[in-house]
Structure 1
Amino acid sequence: MVEATAQSLTGNDFPPLKNDLILRAARGERTERAPVWVMRQAGRYLPEFRKVREKHAFFDICQTPALATEITLQPIRRYAGLLDAAIIFSDILVIPQAMGMIVEMPEGKGPTFPHPLADPEDLSRLKHPVNVDQELGYVFDAITMTRKELKGEVPLIGFCGSPWTLMAYMIQGGGSRGGFHSAKRWIFQYPTASKELLSRITTICVDFLIGQVRAGAQLVQVFDSWASELSPHDFQEFSLPYLCIIAHRVKSGLSEVGMEPVPMILFAKGANYALEELAITGGYDVLGLDWCIDPLVARHLVGDSVALQGNIDPDILYGGKEAIQREVKRMCASFRSNTTDGPKGWIANLGHGITPGVSTEDMGHFLSCVHKYSRQGDEVV
């Protein structure tokens, strides 16, 4: 277990980076193989994670830098040499918490808001403005500690949820397999109040991501996990503008404090129809793909303007080693066929997060197959 010390939380004298593959791919450089990481790679499929959870509540881990660091490092240790990035252990719902909402994580149930937003008058319940350093400083401390504990093995990714996705949770009261009817009622019945809430969340996202980079994050990702709930028209009105604001303001905000912008990744699950516009106007360096679009089609839509991340179906990890090898080989061939002189790069990943029932052995096999087949023939990606 990592122990917190005053020294580990001060200063930015980070160890030199030994593996910059994902940074080069995110910048669009040709790489000797595809870098690979997995969304939710530090999570319930790992027995070492479950052991920590036996003694600590989910959000207690998020809010305790030493515990968050320990969890972040677990997959890096287990899959030494196979993962090309760590992602800080946290949750997108720390932003609603910072706004004053109660968020619970009952075992086996998923996130729950006991008192969701019912109508526009409830906006008065939210903290505004939010002091991100005060409310979310524990995430910054965890990032700094983790960056030092990684000892330069791989880069560290920070993240936040998108304004629409966070708004959906805040109004719906949690995840919903039956649809976000309450959240969508807001955008149709209360469009002005919806945009006010989205703007408030956007401001916090910007400050939060800038703070994460200043604390040591070397890439950041925005998760629009519920983009699929919006029609193309509604995505254009209630998600896309705020996503664009985040990317542009984070980059300009870092420049204003004398820092080089870091690569920014957007994963808008289910919004493949918007890839072309996101590549042109979004301001992101990398666009994440879910498994419902062929990489050839995605590259045709975005051209060489951005890097791509993804996109194998997460459930392939339940298919056994032969199926994993077959599908990884197919995925690699599809992404590789997009390469021409000077294209943007490719970061291998699942098309969504890894699920709890996956075996650690099959996860390792997936990573090994990416290493093998993304460099097949001694060509570059």
Structure 2
Amino acid sequence: MILPPQHPLSAGRTADSRLVRAYRGERADAVPVWFMRQAGRSLPEYRELRVGTRMLDACLDPAMAAEITLQPVRRHRVDAGIFFSDIVVPLKLVGVDVEIQAGRGPVFGRAFADAAAVADLTAIDPASLDAAAAPISDAVARTVAELDGIAPAGGADAAASATPLIGFAGAPFTLAAYLAEGGPSKDHLAARTLMHADPGAWRDLMHWTAELTGRFLRAQVVAGASAAQLFDSWAGALSLEDYERHVAPASARALSFVHDLAYETGATDASGAAVTRSVPVVHFGVGTGELLGAMRGVGADAVGVDYRVPLDVAAERVGAGVPLQGNLDPALLAAPWPVLEQAVLDVLRRGRSAPGHVFNLGHGVPPQTDPAVLTRVVELVHEASA
């Protein structure tokens, strides 16, 4: 599917932004930077806005979700917005009983840890999300309209582009891990048990979560997101063999919902046909140092790396020519500035081993982070990499 002419990529507003170029494996005037969980509890304006509003209600309020997405872009002048949502939002939209409990996370009305429960869940048609996703599409459209007027800080490349929005979704395994347990877990034992005890039920669960989260990601891109990130929070609990056999096919299926989305560049080839590019996809997982090559293999254009593996080592693991994203340890945000500064510079240095690099954290922004520190890191990344 060719994205419509008004899409930010098709219209040229974000196609040559620092972020999109980095995901293509190109170097711009400076390394782009954004932070996972940049929108949220570290910002006083977020805490003020969220008073009296539950998390999932905020995610499904288009005006509020858009405003929350925009807050860190205005404050920090990062090179991308990440859509404010939660991985369980598509589950909520199709009628699964789930709420996010403060201090605990997603909690379901029941666990889906056996064949009968999985059959009940998968009786819900994932395609029903398409009609239910209107609040998501609306929120993305509102966000993109505002981002069109915000250019990232500094440099000719930034000034020439609008700030792109990244679409966000949880990977099939992470969704399945929560569903099988009925809530958060430290070891994801219920999911890993179902995987081996009843492979048929596991395949059904993974196919269903792949279809659902793939449609959720696609809705965001069609509505205006310029890139897509699949976030596998809990894949690090798996061996490489289990990941490749029981998880990778579902992640590939989820990403297939974005792979057919493309935009015309405005150029033509030797035959006169319009040249198109696909929407860039980045895949990130936590504790996945042993899985990096396999995670790239599911169809990612770029791979996010957590703080446990240096970027130059990660570049060897994913193979030549793969852009990387990451990977400052979030704990360093509370360190003295000279310590943090040297760590940022080290990440930038190691990131040169990849054809393209997007500076980020190796996980999300801690809630207690001083926002001024994040702004200072953005300035340092832009200045040091210019």
Shorter-chain TM range is: 0.7 to 0.9
- The answer to whether the 8 Å contact 2:258/2:279 transfers is no
Residue 293 of structure 2 aligns with an amino acid whose one-letter code is E
The equivalent of 1:110 in structure 2 is 105
The equivalent of 1:344 in structure 2 is 355
Residue 301 of structure 1 aligns with an amino acid whose one-letter code is R
Structure 1 segments, 4+ long, off by >6 Å, are none
SS of match in other structure, 2:42: coil
Q: Is 1:164 aligned with 2:173?
A: yes
- The answer to whether the 8 Å contact 2:304/2:326 transfers is yes
The equivalent of 1:198 in structure 2 is 206
Candidates 336, 341, 351, aligned match of 1:325? 341
The equivalent of 1:174 in structure 2 is 183
The equivalent of 2:293 in structure 1 is 276
Cα distance change, pair 155–332 in 1 and its aligned pair in 2 (3 A) = same
The equivalent of 2:29 in structure 1 is 32
The equivalent of 2:160 in structure 1 is none
How far residue 355 of structure 1 moved from its aligned partner, in angstroms, is 1.2
* Superposed counterparts of 1:252-331, under 5 Å: 252=260, 260-279=277-296, 281-331=297-347
Q: Is 1:224 aligned with 2:232?
A: yes
How far residue 13 of structure 1 moved from its aligned partner, in angstroms, is 6.8
How far residue 182 of structure 1 moved from its aligned partner, in angstroms, is 1.6
The Cα offsets for residues 213-245 of structure 1, whole Å up to 9 and x where unpaired, read as 110010000001101111111111222122222
Instruction: Give RMSD over aligned pairs.
Output: 2.2
Cα distance change, pair 12–102 in 1 and its aligned pair in 2 (3 A) = farther
The equivalent of 1:147 in structure 2 is 144
How far residue 254 of structure 1 moved from its aligned partner, in angstroms, is 5.5
- The answer to whether the 8 Å contact 2:136/2:219 transfers is no
The equivalent of 1:207 in structure 2 is 215
How far residue 74 of structure 1 moved from its aligned partner, in angstroms, is 0.6
Q: Is 1:364 aligned with 2:375?
A: yes
The equivalent of 1:247 in structure 2 is 255
Scaled by the length of structure 2, the TM-score of the pair is: 0.86
Cα distance change, pair 31–253 in 1 and its aligned pair in 2 (3 A) = closer
The Cα offsets for residues 324-345 of structure 1, whole Å up to 9 and x where unpaired, read as 1111011112222x2xxxx620
Larger deviation: 108-117 or 284-293? 108-117
- The answer to whether the 8 Å contact 2:232/2:284 transfers is yes
The equivalent of 2:118 in structure 1 is 123
- The answer to whether the 8 Å contact 1:313/1:351 transfers is yes
Structure 2 distance, partners of 1:13, 1:304, is: 31
Cα distance change, pair 168–160 in 1 and its aligned pair in 2 (3 A) = same
Candidates 80, 84, 97, aligned match of 1:85? 80
Structure 1 distance, partners of 2:120, 2:336, is: 49
Structure 2 distance, partners of 1:366, 1:185, is: 42
How far residue 121 of structure 1 moved from its aligned partner, in angstroms, is 0.5
SS of match in other structure, 1:78: helix
SS of match in other structure, 1:77: helix
How far residue 270 of structure 1 moved from its aligned partner, in angstroms, is 1.8
Unaligned runs of 5+ in 2: 151-162, 264-273
Structure 2 distance, partners of 1:303, 1:31, is: 22
How far residue 246 of structure 1 moved from its aligned partner, in angstroms, is 2.6
Identity %: 36
Q: Is 1:71 aligned with 2:90?
A: no
Residue 239 of structure 2 aligns with an amino acid whose one-letter code is S
Residue 357 of structure 2 aligns with an amino acid whose one-letter code is W
Unaligned runs of 5+ in 1: 1-10, 376-381
The Cα offsets for residues 265-322 of structure 1, whole Å up to 9 and x where unpaired, read as 000222222223444x322111000111111111122333321000111111111322
Structure 2 distance, partners of 1:243, 1:331, is: 28
Structure 1 distance, partners of 2:71, 2:90, is: 25
Larger deviation: 15-24 or 235-244? 15-24
Structure 2 distance, partners of 1:183, 1:278, is: 19
Structure 2 distance, partners of 1:109, 1:302, is: 33
How far residue 249 of structure 1 moved from its aligned partner, in angstroms, is 4.3
Structure 1 distance, partners of 2:7, 2:241, is: 46
Q: Is 1:17 aligned with 2:13?
A: yes
Residue 351 of structure 1 aligns with an amino acid whose one-letter code is G
SS of match in other structure, 2:225: coil
How far residue 252 of structure 1 moved from its aligned partner, in angstroms, is 2.6
Q: Is 1:238 aligned with 2:246?
A: yes
- The answer to whether the 8 Å contact 1:172/1:182 transfers is yes
Scaled by the length of structure 1, the TM-score of the pair is: 0.87
